[in-house]
Amino acid sequence: METRRIYLDHNATTPLHPEVKKEMVEAMEMFGNPSSMHAFGREARANVEHSRQVVADFIGAHEDELVFVGSGSEANNTVLSLFACASNLCLPGFRAKTSIITTKIEHPCVLETSECLAHKGTKVKFLDVDQYGRVDMDQFKEYLTDNVGLVSVMTANNEIGTIQDIAEIAKLAHANGSLVHTDAVQAIGKMRMNVSDLGVDFLTMSAHKIYGPKGIGALYVKKGTPYCPFIRGGHQEKGRRAGTENTLGIIGLAKAIEMRDAEMDEEIKRMVEMKQALKNGIEGSIDDAVFNGHPTLSMPNTLNVSFPGAEGEAIMLYLDLQGIAVSTGSACASGSLDPSHVLLATGSSPERAHGSIRISMGRETTMEDIGYMLDVLPGVIKRIRSMSTAYITGGEHVAAK
């Protein structure tokens, strides 16, 4: 009997939406360079600019405020490196600032770039979060001094799904004369977002998190905001990002956005129901399960849970043998033995962090899939705990029957 295959790792990446695939296949015959003046180039340019309008409209931006980039990581690096450039007076008219504020739970592309800038002399302050992963606002106000040039806080965390109050953060930062960036890679397509309501100067998004292709993302840059190219060499993207535009990827991103706009609201309702069913099922069938992230201010598709006495890597591998794909709460899969920096920042012990998994649902996930997960998961946890020398409940070691 063939093993059932269920994909519950949508925060890592998503499959191409059928309509996105169809749109991209139809566009494959269009090979012109968007910078060329002849008919082939003009056709490609028209498609790029139409796509720009679609994506900009989705977040309430003007089309000229959108820059197509190669990934969310590139967009985030662009913003942080821009600040470093601006702080050295590379951009006339931008008041020199000497520090950056970000959080301890950002994506590694933000954390590692911030640490790199710190080694080069930029002052970087990392905000603490509470047990649910929400920014310590009192600490933020304390850190928000005159020399802060940039505040970078992700909209929703990729591991635990917790949502930040970006509008309030932006309001406070702007009152201080600081620029504001939000990494919205995990939030776009899972919640309605408008850059005017958020009040941000920069916003990052990526296509492959919303059923679009890999290798394409977009950066919103508010009109009038200081900017300096991260990649130089050509006039593409109005001089803001050199390199021939990924026309096919851009078309795929725009179609993915169109489909999110059409499907997202109903999908969110389904996600909330499935997430609650999954949480209730785990609580009713597995002892000592600990849920991570905010109980309400969280992405509707994301559930992060720790199982003391069971290693996340082992849980992930046993589930994989049963055809279920999830991710682990530790960084072991990437070659590191360190537990999740996000869970540690919320006050989790290293042991608890190592015993966590992230379950992230998508547009094709069904309640039947959740039922299968709940059929399989309790036995997996029981089996792993029976082999553990550390897991004890009620004063006795738990063994398999």
Q: Give the 3-state DSSP-derived string for 30-49, with helices as H, strands as E and coil as C.
A: CCCCCCCCCHHHHHHHHHHH
Residue 66 near residue 287 (C-beta atoms within 8 A)? no
Look at residue 98 in the predicted model and tell me its pLDDT: 75
Amino acid at 264: M
- Angstrom distance (rounded) from CA 374 to CA 371: 5
- Considering the candidates 85, 116, 228, 332, report the single residue annotated as catalytic: 332
**Number of other residues whose CB lies within 10 A of the CB of residue 261:** 14
Pick from 371, 372, 377, 398: which is nearest to 386 by CA?
A: 398
Look at residue 388 in the predicted model and tell me its pLDDT: 78
Residue 69 near residue 58 (C-beta atoms within 8 A)? no
User: With a threshold of 0.85, does the pTM exceed it?
Assistant: yes
Contacting residues for 67 by C-beta, under 8 A, at least 6 apart: 75, 218, 219, 220, 221, 237, 240, 241
Only one residue has tokens 């949502």, namely 163
- Angstrom distance (rounded) from CA 401 to CA 17: 44
Query: What stretches in the chain show pLDDT beneath 70?
Result: 1-2, 86-96, 329-337, 390-401
Look at residue 121 in the predicted model and tell me its pLDDT: 86
Torsion on CA atoms 191, 196, 200, 201, rounded to nearest 10: 130
**Number of other residues whose CB lies within 10 A of the CB of residue 152:** 27
Look at residue 389 in the predicted model and tell me its pLDDT: 72
Look at residue 82 in the predicted model and tell me its pLDDT: 83
Continuous segment of H or E residues that includes residue 150: strand 148-152
Look at residue 374 in the predicted model and tell me its pLDDT: 98
Residue 188 corresponds to which tokens in the numbers above?
């776009």
Active site residue 332: yes
Phi then psi for 238, rounded to 5 degrees? 55, 40
Which SS3 state, helix, strand or coil, does residue 110 take? Answer: helix
For the chain, what percent of residues have pLDDT higher than 70?
Answer: 92
Residue 78 corresponds to which tokens in the numbers above?
């662009």
- Angstrom distance (rounded) from CA 87 to CA 397: 58
- Angstrom distance (rounded) from CA 257 to CA 213: 12
